[in-house]
Structure 1
Amino acid sequence: MAKYENDVKQLLTLIGGKENIQAVSHCMTRMRFVLVDPKKADEKAIEEIPSVKGTFTQAGQYQVIIGNDVSVFYNEFTSYAGIEGVSKDAAKAAAKTNQNLAQKIMGALGEIFAPLIPALICGGLILGFRNVIGEINFFNNGKQSLADLYPFWQGTYDFLWLIGEAVFHLLPVGIVWSITKKMGTTQILGIILGLTLVSPQLLNGFSVADTPASEIPVWDFGFAQVDMIGYQGQVIAAMMAGFVLVYLEKFFKKHCPEVVSMIVVPFCSLVPAVIIAHTVVGPIGWKIGDAIASVVYGGLMSDFGWLFAGVFGLLYAPVVMTGLHHMTNAIDTQLVNTYDGTILWPMIALSNIAQGSSVLAMSILQKKNERAQQVNIPACISCYLGVTEPALFGVNLKYVFPLICGMIGSAIAAMISVGSGVMALSIGVGGLPGIISIKPEFYVQFLIAMAVAIVVPFTLTFIVGSRKLSAKERGTAKSESKTEVKAEKIETEQIETENTETEKGVKAILSGKVIPIEEVDDNVFSQKIMGDGVAIEPTDTTVVAPSDAEVAIVMADTGHACGLTLGNGMELLIHVGIDTVDMGGDGFELLVSQGDKVSAGTPLIRFDPEKIRAAGHPTTTMLIVTGEGSAKNIKMKAGMTAEAAKTTVISFE
């Protein structure tokens, strides 16, 4: 009789039978199902199965937590059910079929922009700082800025544009690279395609609106002419070009003989992609922008301008995410030239403020979540200074409800602004400093609109977030008792460190900051479904044995996790990173095999933290007690910086 025969039979029945399973795979602790109809799975009954420790659904996958013996359970399950397991990537791909169109689009945007967020945050702060020192006229009755008065600040202003231009004007390079990386094609070809979109040979995309059609340079092929227009700052054109390149490369890889693929595939992929980008993708992008600009201009000049203002304020943030917001510069210029001012620019500044206020509320809600604060605080600052991309892609789009709350506040503020006739002298600084661009006679009205753009999104986001965000997302998942003893742990840290050589227990598997398991950004670990333990934010790259032990289980195909059994019967699970099973072993090197005898300090797993972060995963590494054996009075030690194989992190008798 198989070890889990009864449990396997129950699970197959309760999950909806073989016909309800689209794909199944497993990681170190969990069975991962893609179900045809997730509603057929009887969660409560499944969790009553003796070998099941819990269930949850994530990214379209129904996950059943088994524990260290999951590989045995998995083999018995697939054998009994008469189905073939699939790879993690295949299961992940199949899971997307359970997502609706909006979820797929948001997921794709998230995966494309996640690697770009650090650059966007940095660029946003830099552009905000440039606005303060070079665009706001603080001195001489509003006629001169810091840069106008002092050579040092002028030099700083000019120098910082080197970085600002690289981040935002050359953004298509990063976008196309990220798409090729996500789709698994040749990344250097994506970088080259991106560079052709922003080449200095082309007319800068930001200058097109001010350049007469007759002066736009062209490539003349005799039978046809193609405008030499760059796509600086454009998102849609870059994304379309990136996917053209990806699918061309996949097509030629599939149909090209291996012996000539090194020559044929890059050439036949890149050259047509560049041609299509400049003859089809680019023009379509500009036409979409022109259409939006015409609607904006007509709406503002109509009798229903206040209503249009509400729609514009509501939708401006999503438009920013497409890159098409740069087309508003043409409308602003036309309004300034025709009416000696623009009604449009104040609404843009108010939208910046509204999205920044949503992030401010998230920052307060997540004040105890250090990882979230690393994005929230700089994103909020840059947003209030007029650069919203870090806030939109790094925070608001991720949680969705802050984006919507910001849109609502922006819409109300925009209606107040347009309804009271607020006008700006010209295109200027966005965000809170945007008031500098407003005609003095409209200061009071604009201040009222600003107050609405601050208060409404902040209040809505705070109310919704208070109910919607989990304790883990807010960084408050620690129990009260854990909080109460943390101070005591910190106070006794020095004594514990001095006694590490003689103290009986489990040593650190990595050097780095030891944190309570409750703070881990994964429900299976933070809720102690697998067992209690600690986590380490690593400062080195090799996991070592925490004690003399036998290697009980390894993830040979992915190398990201292993299980150990100590002499006293205690069972430990080591898991490097969160959701790193999706990496398929890339960036991991497993240094031991099942059945090996190891001593404290023996290297177990070597990993590349940069690859883990580039894949969008935290490097937090878990050490979990999955079985106590004969150990008594087990205590977890956190709140200190540990040294691998020396500092005790789990003590016992």
Structure 2
Amino acid sequence: MGKYENDVRHLLTLVGGKENIQAVSHCMTRMRFVLADPQKADEKAIEELPSVKGTFTQAGQYQVIIGNDVSTFYNEFTAYAGIEGVSKEAAKQAAKGNQNVIQKMMSNLGEIFAPIIPALICGGLVLGFRNIIDGIYFFDNGTKTLIDISQFWAGVDSFLWLIGEAVFWLLPVGIVWSITKKMGTTQILGIILGLTLISSQLLNGFDVASTPAKDIPVWDFGFAKVQMIGYQGQVIAAMLAGFVLVYLEKFFRKICPAVISMIVVPFCSLVPAVFIAHMVVGPIGWTIGNAIGDVVYAGLTSDFRFVFAGIFGLLYAPVVMTGLHHMTNAIDSQLLASPAKSTILWPMIALSNIAQGSSVLAMSFIQKKNERAQQVNVPACISCYLGVTEPALFGVNLKYGFPLVCGMIGSAAAAMISVGFGVEALSIGVGGLPGILSIKPEYYLIFLLAMAVAIVIPFILTFIVGKIKLSDADKYGNAAASNNVEKIVEETETKEISPADRIHDSSAAENEGNMTSNGELKAILSGKVIPIEEVPDDVFSQKIMGDGIAFEPENTVVTAPADAEVSVVMAETGHACGLTLTNGMELLIHVGVDTVDMNGEGFKLLVKEGDHVKEGDALIEFEPEKIKEAGHPCTTMLIVTAQGKTSEVNMHTGIEATAGKTTVISYK
């Protein structure tokens, strides 16, 4: 008879039966189900099971919080149900089956661009700042910019282009690298392929529109000539090239004998991928770009300018995500060279920037309590309002989908006003809110009206849709529970961990004062000790697993806080373990937030289940850089999941701890 026989039997029924389970896995504290029909899960009844501490849904997975003994529960459940468990990555992939085609596409794009977002944000802020100092004519009656009157700022402007060029012009390198990383192929080959797309041997992609066809260099193969064009800033060409490389490598790795794979696979994958990138993928990208440019020019000069403005305003942001928007520079340049010496295209571009930024602004209001989301929202909004939209598009709006659409609607309405009243710009390059400084003075009031529309419509639409559509996890934190999380916590504390009512926090002063404790737990890491309530994961911060503390680590090896037996480990992922002290106290150590998704990359488990460890023994080694690259905080939790024979437990937070020396939890 299994330890959890009754709960296992009831849980199988309550999730909709075996036929409703597409996949099941577990992490350190939770069962993770992918259900064919999530509506069949009886959430209220599941939460009433004695061994269940809460439930929530995230990323297509229905998660049931069990606690330290989840591996035993999981084994009994899969045995009783007759279901073979899968890896967490397989469950994650199966969860995508609950998404429609658009959601899957957005999810895959999000996974490709997620590692690049920090660079896009940094580059966006840099270019936005450069737009102000080198593109706005503040001085000498509106005839000179800051760099025209100051050698210092001219030097700063020139120097900062190092970053701008690396982030945006050389973007294909990051895209191809990220694709190879996501697909599990050789990342250095992806980097090399990306470099071939932006090599200095090629004509810079941004100069193609202004270079006569006869002056474009070519590779002459005798029977054919191929233009030597670079793909700076291009997204579609880089993505297609990356997938070509990935599937070539997978093919050759599959058919090639292992003894020669080190030589054959890289050569046979990379060389054809470079040829295809420059002779097939690249020309296709340029053809699409030229077609878009021709359509834009024809629309601007037609009798249907008003309708075209709405279409252009609606679609400009998605075009930016392809990298093909640079073709509009040629159209703007041609319009500025006309007798009118002005363009009606650039104002629409500036308005589109504003509209997408306003969607991000709304997301910032909705997610004001989601600290991790705000780390992307705020700088992305700033750079977008300064005219650089990539951080906002790839970091926020594309990720959630609806903010992008709301921004597109606002952009379309604003563009129709701008073109309908014939708003003209005297220059290009200054986008976003500062874009008004490039507008002819007689159109200031109309452009201000269009700007107001580009701000208000996306903000209101995004705010309304976001309030309805976003889950509590998106609004409040990484792993926030569902709308019933407060109820879960209340019930759990009452039914499951009532002894926690006797657990008390104490300040650093108490730590140094009178303490009549019978036992101490030493710091498992060096660094700042913070209250468990500040952890960006509701399962921990709401004390669903029990009370505890958390560390912002300064070192990379987790050590035992006391003599104990290793009661449970996450052997697959290496990111967590459980300990049991001789007095029956049970502890959970969890490195990072949501790090189970890393599938063990960056972690080394140094103990196994059943080991007896001494205070200060090494338990887990981790690589903070890899955790941060994966988009997770390194915050590490030490949770008291069961008090054993102790009557009172005191947490010591707000202190700087030294691993193995500082007392962080005391008990008696």
- Normalized against structure 1, the TM-score is what? 0.92
Partner of residue 584 from structure 1, selected from 599, 602, 617: 599
Give the Cα–Cα distance (whole angstroms) in 2 for the partners of residues 327 and 142 of structure 1: 28
Q: Which runs of 5+ in 1 are unaligned?
A: 480-490
Over residues 531-557 of structure 1, what are the superposed CA-to-partner deviations in whole Å (9 max), with x where a residue is unaligned? 233333322212122233322111122
Counterparts of 1:489-638 in structure 2, within 5 Å, are 493-499=507-513, 505-638=520-653
- What is the one-letter code of the residue matched to 1:326? H
Give the Cα–Cα distance (whole angstroms) in 1 for the partners of residues 46 and 475 of structure 2: 29
Alignment correspondent of 1:377: 378
Alignment correspondent of 2:181: 181
- What is the one-letter code of the residue matched to 1:162? L
Give the Cα–Cα distance (whole angstroms) in 1 for the partners of residues 420 and 666 of structure 2: 67
Over residues 404-429 of structure 1, what are the superposed CA-to-partner deviations in whole Å (9 max), with x where a residue is unaligned? 33323222221211111101123221
Give the Cα–Cα distance (whole angstroms) in 2 for the partners of residues 80 and 468 of structure 1: 36
Deviation, 1:158, is 1.3
Counterparts of 1:218-617 in structure 2, within 5 Å, are 218-338=218-338, 339-465=340-466, 493-499=507-513, 505-617=520-632
Whether the 8 Å CA contact 1:170–1:232 is kept in 2: the answer is yes
Whether the 8 Å CA contact 1:517–1:526 is kept in 2: the answer is yes
Whether the 8 Å CA contact 1:115–1:614 is kept in 2: the answer is yes
Whether the 8 Å CA contact 2:562–2:616 is kept in 1: the answer is yes
- What is the one-letter code of the residue matched to 2:636? T
- What is the one-letter code of the residue matched to 2:170? L
Whether the 8 Å CA contact 1:500–1:647 is kept in 2: the answer is no
CA RMSD of aligned residues (A): 2.7
Whether the 8 Å CA contact 2:507–2:653 is kept in 1: the answer is no
The higher relative CO (CA closer than 8 Å, separation ≥ 6) is in 2
Task: From the superposition, tell whether residues 472 and 53 of structure 1 become closer, same or farther in structure 2 (CA, over 3 Å).
Answer: same
Task: From the superposition, tell whether residues 372 and 89 of structure 1 become closer, same or farther in structure 2 (CA, over 3 Å).
Answer: closer
SS in 2 for 1:28: coil
- What is the one-letter code of the residue matched to 1:47? E
Give the Cα–Cα distance (whole angstroms) in 1 for the partners of residues 531 and 29 of structure 2: 20
Deviation, 1:84, is 2.3
Once the two structures are overlaid, the 10-residue window that deviates more, 122-131 or 611-620, is 611-620
SS in 1 for 2:299: helix
SS in 2 for 1:52: coil
- What is the one-letter code of the residue matched to 2:189? L
Alignment correspondent of 1:216: 216
Q: Which runs of 4+ in 1 moved over 6 A?
A: 476-479
Give the Cα–Cα distance (whole angstroms) in 2 for the partners of residues 327 and 502 of structure 1: 74
Task: From the superposition, tell whether residues 210 and 271 of structure 1 become closer, same or farther in structure 2 (CA, over 3 Å).
Answer: same
Deviation, 1:318, is 2.2
SS in 2 for 1:209: coil
Count of matched residue positions in the alignment of Structure 1 and Structure 2 = 644
Counterparts of 1:41-56 in structure 2, within 5 Å, are 41-56=41-56
Give the Cα–Cα distance (whole angstroms) in 2 for the partners of residues 161 and 433 of structure 1: 20
Alignment correspondent of 2:71: 71
Give the Cα–Cα distance (whole angstroms) in 2 for the partners of residues 310 and 506 of structure 1: 64
Deviation, 1:106, is 1.1
Alignment correspondent of 2:498: none
- What is the one-letter code of the residue matched to 1:563? G
Whether the 8 Å CA contact 2:342–2:426 is kept in 1: the answer is yes
- What is the one-letter code of the residue matched to 1:419? G
Give the Cα–Cα distance (whole angstroms) in 2 for the partners of residues 564 and 492 of structure 1: 23
Deviation, 1:164, is 0.9
Over residues 568-622 of structure 1, what are the superposed CA-to-partner deviations in whole Å (9 max), with x where a residue is unaligned? 3221111111222232222111222223333433322110011112223222222
Give the Cα–Cα distance (whole angstroms) in 1 for the partners of residues 579 and 523 of structure 2: 14
Whether the 8 Å CA contact 1:501–1:646 is kept in 2: the answer is no
Alignment correspondent of 1:487: none
SS in 2 for 1:585: coil
Give the Cα–Cα distance (whole angstroms) in 1 for the partners of residues 313 and 662 of structure 2: 55
Over residues 179-228 of structure 1, what are the superposed CA-to-partner deviations in whole Å (9 max), with x where a residue is unaligned? 10111100110001001111111111111111222222211111111111
Over residues 15-70 of structure 1, what are the superposed CA-to-partner deviations in whole Å (9 max), with x where a residue is unaligned? 33333333322211122223334344333333333322233332232322222111
Whether the 8 Å CA contact 2:205–2:230 is kept in 1: the answer is yes
Give the Cα–Cα distance (whole angstroms) in 1 for the partners of residues 551 and 311 of structure 2: 47
Over residues 218-258 of structure 1, what are the superposed CA-to-partner deviations in whole Å (9 max), with x where a residue is unaligned? 11111111111111000011001000000000000000111
Once the two structures are overlaid, the 10-residue window that deviates more, 348-357 or 529-538, is 529-538
Give the Cα–Cα distance (whole angstroms) in 1 for the partners of residues 549 and 212 of structure 2: 64
Whether the 8 Å CA contact 2:511–2:652 is kept in 1: the answer is no
Deviation, 1:369, is 4.2
Give the Cα–Cα distance (whole angstroms) in 2 for the partners of residues 75 and 472 of structure 1: 28
SS in 1 for 2:245: helix
Deviation, 1:366, is 4.2
- What is the one-letter code of the residue matched to 1:257? P
SS in 2 for 1:112: helix
Whether the 8 Å CA contact 2:58–2:473 is kept in 1: the answer is no
Task: From the superposition, tell whether residues 492 and 622 of structure 1 become closer, same or farther in structure 2 (CA, over 3 Å).
Answer: closer
SS in 2 for 1:547: coil
SS in 1 for 2:127: helix
Over residues 372-406 of structure 1, what are the superposed CA-to-partner deviations in whole Å (9 max), with x where a residue is unaligned? 33323322221121111112222233333433333
Whether the 8 Å CA contact 1:475–1:519 is kept in 2: the answer is no
User: Identity over aligned residues, as a percent?
Assistant: 76
Deviation, 1:301, is 2.6
- What is the one-letter code of the residue matched to 2:404? L
Deviation, 1:447, is 1.9
Deviation, 1:644, is 3.1
Q: Which runs of 5+ in 2 are unaligned?
A: 487-504
SS in 2 for 1:210: coil
Alignment correspondent of 1:96: 96
SS in 1 for 2:337: helix
Whether the 8 Å CA contact 1:497–1:647 is kept in 2: the answer is no
Once the two structures are overlaid, the 10-residue window that deviates more, 175-184 or 542-551, is 542-551
SS in 1 for 2:577: strand
Counterparts of 1:74-85 in structure 2, within 5 Å, are 74-85=74-85
- Normalized against structure 2, the TM-score is what? 0.90
Give the Cα–Cα distance (whole angstroms) in 2 for the partners of residues 219 and 432 of structure 1: 44
- What is the one-letter code of the residue matched to 1:59? A
Alignment correspondent of 1:486: none
